[in-house]
Amino acid sequence: MRKIFVVTAGLGFVFAGAAHAADPDFASGYDWTGLYLGVHGGYADADWDGTTVYDPGTGPMPELWNDPDQTIGGDGWLGGAQVGFNKQFGNIVVGLEADYSFADVDGEDDFRMIDPAAPNWNVKAKLDELGTVRARVGFALDNVLFYGTGGLAYGKTEADLKVAHPEAPDTLTARGSAEEDHIGWTAGAGVEWGFASNFSLGAEWLYIDLGDADYRLAGTNTVDPGNPIPHTTDSFPADLTMNVFRAKINYRF
């Protein structure tokens, strides 16, 4: 959290310095009111806090695992577009913003059973899409706007399972996959610099909690296409949280 504060504060000083160096007449008359469209890009650091569940048909068997509860850490890039509207009341700016991002954020980890001869599980989790709908409340210093934001978040994710014996890690004994839609919440902060009457540059941090999803890893217990045996009892229920850092540019109408 301290790193996040330092980054946000540092960006604020940069933008504030740029505003001070700008044309005073332009800065003092800046108006944040209006509809805007823009694009963004950035980085996400994500954690899938989950549990491996093996059920041979008689119920889950957590006692088979060294540790069935693990966190899969992942990271990657995302980019997309946003639309919003601001209304300014003196130095106070309130607004609403919606955004959508294509994402390539993934991570994987191995889950090992207590029996050293038992097969290992490899679970790979991936975020493909991310969106938010948020309220914004900020304080404007001429053409620099500091704001807090929060609201709804949603995402589309997938998980893949590969099971292999330690003696033959390249020969899969089972595999499966699942896709899930997450809905959760987000909160964060940002700063924008109006560098022209209709354009602004911004930097933003969002903490996102997309809540729980149960990845039912349906598939087959063999990769032999001539003898597939369905299995539907393996799952990976997980809670997905992430920190998103992104830059954006907006055009205000």
Strand partners, 163: 121, 174
Q: What is the pTM of this model?
A: 0.80
* 179 vs 220, higher pLDDT: 179
Please classify residue 60 by burial: count the beta carbons closer than 10 Å to its beta carbon, then call 0-12 exposed, 13-18 middle and 19+ buried: middle
Q: Given the structure tokens 């399972």, which residue do they identify?
A: 161
Q: Given the structure tokens 């022209």, which residue do they identify?
A: 196
Half-sphere exposure of 142 (CA within 13 A, CB side): 17
Q: Given the structure tokens 């059973």, which residue do they identify?
A: 113
Q: Please give the pLDDT value at position 243.
A: 98
Q: Percent of the chain beyond pLDDT 70?
A: 74
Q: Please give the pLDDT value at position 21.
A: 46
In the 3-class helix/strand/coil scheme, how is 170-238 assigned residue by residue? CCEEEEEEEEEEEEEEEEEEEEEEECCCCEEEEEEEEEEEEEEEEEECCEECCCCCCCCCEECCCEEEE
Q: Which domains does the chain have, with CATH numbers?
A: 2-252 (2.40.160.20)
The Cα 100–Cα 132 span in angstroms is 7
pLDDT tens-digit profile of 75-133? 999 999 999 999 999 999 999 999 999 999 999 988 877 777 777 778 899 999 999 99
pLDDT band at 2 (very low <50, low <70, confident <90, very high): very low
Q: Percent of the chain beyond pLDDT 90?
A: 53
Q: Please give the pLDDT value at position 26.
A: 46
* 198 vs 237, higher pLDDT: 198
Q: Is the per-residue pLDDT at 247 higher than 70?
A: yes
Q: Please give the pLDDT value at position 4.
A: 39
Q: Which of 43-47, 92-96, 189-193, 212-216 has the lowest mean pLDDT?
A: 212-216
Q: Please give the pLDDT value at position 1.
A: 40
Q: Is the per-residue pLDDT at 27 higher than 80?
A: no
* 22 vs 220, higher pLDDT: 220
pLDDT tens-digit profile of 153-208? 999 999 888 877 766 666 666 777 888 899 999 999 999 999 999 999 999 999 99
**DSSP letter for each residue of 48-91:** EEEE-B--SSS---GGGBS-SEEEEEEEEEEEEEEEEEEEEETT
Q: Is the per-residue pLDDT at 17 higher than 50?
A: no
Provide the mean pLDDT of the chain.
82
Cβ contact 44:244 at 8 Å: yes
State whether residue 29 is helix, strand or coil. Answer: coil
Q: Is the per-residue pLDDT at 138 higher than 80?
A: yes
Cβ contact 136:95 at 8 Å: yes
Q: Which of 139-143, 145-149, 175-179 has the lowest mean pLDDT?
A: 175-179
